[in-house]
């Protein structure tokens, strides 16, 4: 069965966006070691899952970056890997290499049962929350940014009961981000 990896940036107080979707608090001056970490966890990935709102920014940005002369293999992976966008509003995909889906549990279970590489989930907050609530995540890669924002959008607020996790590794990086990698404790 394919593995689903959640890669999310969070503030120290656990938010993935400010109350009005602000993301200006995120650290982006990543050092080579953090970039290598991301390349390591995404190397076996061949499918990307996104929520519609995130997809509207994510897909066009990576497509533009891929046109640059210095575009690297990771950039091309973000463009070329198939994407599944969860949406309740779109009926046709405006993006190439992208399929639309509505039922998160059904579609993710179907993806996990198909042959292929790992699957990475980048969010947004509602999609990540629904996937966590329905125990669809096999690995959590939580990028804890060195900032407290006070209010915002959490990804763990919709749980009906506690979720026990096992720490696989904690990796601090020079830019101030610490990546916490967890797996479900029962997995």
Contacts for 53-62: CB closer than 8 Å, 24+ residues apart: 53/21, 53/124, 54/122, 54/123, 54/124, 54/127, 55/83, 55/85, 55/87, 55/95, 55/98, 58/122, 59/83, 59/95, 59/98
Q: Looking at residue 165, what is its pLDDT?
A: 97
Range of the domain at 58: 4-184
Average pLDDT over residues 39-59: 94
Question: Cβ(140)–Cβ(180) under 8 Å?
Answer: yes
Instruction: Read off the pLDDT band of 187 (50, 70, 90).
Output: low
Instruction: Read off the pLDDT band of 66 (50, 70, 90).
Output: very high
Instruction: Read off the pLDDT band of 170 (50, 70, 90).
Output: very high
Instruction: Read off the pLDDT band of 186 (50, 70, 90).
Output: confident
Instruction: Read off the pLDDT band of 123 (50, 70, 90).
Output: confident
Instruction: Read off the pLDDT band of 27 (50, 70, 90).
Output: very high
Between helices 32-42 and 73-80, what is the axis angle to 10°? Answer: 40
Domain tally, the chain:
1
Average pLDDT over residues 91-106: 93
The pTM of the full predicted model, rounded to 2 decimals, is 0.93
Average pLDDT over residues 54-66: 91
Average pLDDT over residues 118-138: 95
Average pLDDT over residues 31-35: 95
Q: Looking at residue 158, what is its pLDDT?
A: 86
């Amino acid at each position: 069965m394919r593995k689903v990896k959640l890669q999310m940036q969070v503030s120290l107080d656990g938010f993935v966006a400010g109350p009005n979707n602000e993301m200006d608090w995120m650290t982006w001056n990543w050092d080579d070691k953090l970039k290598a970490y991301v390349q390591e966890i995404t190397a076996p990935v061949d499918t990307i899952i996104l929520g519609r709102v995130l997809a509207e920014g994510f897909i066009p940005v990576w497509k533009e970056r891929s046109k640059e002369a210095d575009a690297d293999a990771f950039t091309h992976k973000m463009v070329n890997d198939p994407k599944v966008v969860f949406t309740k509003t779109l009926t046709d995909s405006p993006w190439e290499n992208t399929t639309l889906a509505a039922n998160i549990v059904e579609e993710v279970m179907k993806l996990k049962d198909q042959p292929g590489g790992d699957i990475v989930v980048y969010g947004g907050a509602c999609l990540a929350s629904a996937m966590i609530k329905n125990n669809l995540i096999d690995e959590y890669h939580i990028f804890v940014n060195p900032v407290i924002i006070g209010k915002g959008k959490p990804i763990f607020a919709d749980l009906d009961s506690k979720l026990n996790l096992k720490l696989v590794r904690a990796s601090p990086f020079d830019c101030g981000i610490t990546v916490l990698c967890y797996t479900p404790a029962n997995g």
